[in-house]
Amino acid sequence: MNDKKTLRRFIKILFKKNKFISFIAFIIMLLVSTLNLLIPQLTKNILDDAIKFSKINLLIKLIIIYASISILLPLLDIILQYIYSKMKKKVGISLKIKILKHLSKLSGDYYTNIKTGNILSIIEQDTYIIENFGADIVFSLIVDMFTAIIALFFLLKMQFDLLLLVIGIQLLLIVSQSKFTKIIAIKTEEIRNYAGTISNIVQEYVSNIMNIVISKSIFRFFENYIREEKNLIKKCIKLDVIISSNIGIANMLRNLIRISIYGYGGFKIINKQMTIGELIAYQQYTDMLIYPSIRIIRSNTTMQQSLASIKRIFSILDEPITISQNNKGNRCLNDFTGNIQFNKVDFSYEQNIKTIDNIDMQFQKGQVTALVGSSGCGKSTIANLLFRLWDIDRGNIYIDNIPLENYNLRSIRSNISLVTQDVLLFDDSILNNLTLGNKSIDIKEVECVCEKVNIYDFICSLPNKFDTIVGEKGVKLSGGQKQRIYIARALLSNSKIIILDESTSALDNLSQKDILENIRQYLKNRTTIIIAHRLSTIKSADIIYVLNDGKVMEKGNHEELIRKRKYYYSLLNEEKHTKI
Name the 3-class secondary structure at 363: strand
Total-model pTM: 0.66
Q: What is the pLDDT of residue 532?
A: 79
pLDDT of residue 330: 63
Residue 117 — very low, low, confident or very high, per pLDDT cuts 50/70/90?
low
- The residue extents of the domains of the chain are 93-317, 340-579
Percentage with pLDDT > 70 across the chain: 90
pLDDT at position 233 = 85
d(CA 442, CA 218): 46
Starting at the edge strand found earlier in the chain, the sheet holding 416-420 runs 416-420, 497-501, 527-532, 368-373, 543-548, 551-556
Q: Stretch 91-99: mean pLDDT, rounded?
A: 83
Residues near 330 by beta carbon (within 8 Å), at least 6 away in sequence: 406, 407, 408, 409, 411
Instruction: Give the confidence band of 329 by pLDDT, cuts at 50, 70, 90.
Output: low
Average pLDDT over residues 372-399: 86
List pLDDT tens digits, range 183-192.
877 787 778 7
Average pLDDT over residues 388-397: 88
With 0-12 / 13-18 / 19 or more C-beta atoms within 10 angstroms meaning exposed / middle / buried, residue 203 is middle
Q: Do 260 and 172 form a contact (C-beta atoms < 8 A)? A: no
Residue 424 identity: L
Residue 17: band (very low, low, confident or very high) from pLDDT cuts 50, 70, 90 = low
Across 141-154, average pLDDT: 82
H helical segments located in 363-408? 379-386
Q: What is the pLDDT of residue 300?
A: 67
pLDDT at 213 over 70: no
* Among 241-255, 292-306, 539-553, the least confident range: 292-306
**Quick one: pLDDT at residue 407?**
83
Summarised one tens digit per residue, pLDDT across range 335-372 is 677 788 999 999 888 777 788 888 999 998 888 888 88
pLDDT at 305 over 70: no
Homologous superfamily of the 93-317 domain (CATH):
ABC transporter type 1, transmembrane domain (1.20.1560.10)
Average pLDDT over residues 304-308: 72
Compute the distance between CA of residue 99 and CA of residue 94 in angstroms, rounded to an integer.
9
Q: Is the pLDDT of residue 217 over 70?
A: no
* pLDDT of residue 2 exceeding 70: no
Is 500 within 8 Å of 530 (Cβ atoms)? yes
- Give 214's pLDDT tier (boundaries 50, 70, 90): low
Q: What is the pLDDT of residue 403?
A: 87
- Highest-confidence range of 7-16, 146-155, 355-364, 376-385, by mean pLDDT? 355-364
Task: Give the pLDDT confidence of 484-528 residue by residue, as tens digits.
Answer: 888 888 888 878 888 888 765 555 555 566 677 777 777 788 888
Pairing of strands 340-347, 394-399: antiparallel
| The pLDDT value given to residue 45 | 86
CA distance 262 to 269: 10
What pLDDT was estimated at residue 26?
A: 83
Q: How far, CA to CA in Å, does 402 sit from each of 333, 339, 389, 399?
A: 10, 10, 19, 5
Q: Which pLDDT belongs to residue 298?
A: 67
Among the ranges given (61-70, 222-231, 323-332), the one the predictor scored with the smallest mean pLDDT: 323-332
- Over range 246-264, report the average pLDDT: 78
Higher-pLDDT residue of 511 and 14 is 14
pLDDT at 393: 87
244 vs 324: which has the higher pLDDT: 244
Is residue 397's pLDDT more than 60?
A: yes
What sign results for the dihedral spanned by CA atoms 396, 399, 403, 407? negative
Architecture of domain 340-579: 3-Layer(aba) Sandwich (3.40)
Q: Which of 59-68, 204-213, 356-365, 405-414 has the lowest mean pLDDT?
A: 204-213
Q: What is the DSSP letter of 350?
A: B
Q: What is the mean pLDDT of the chain?
A: 80
pLDDT-based confidence at 475, cuts 50/70/90?
confident
pLDDT at 67: 92
The answer to whether residue 219 scores a pLDDT higher than 80 is no
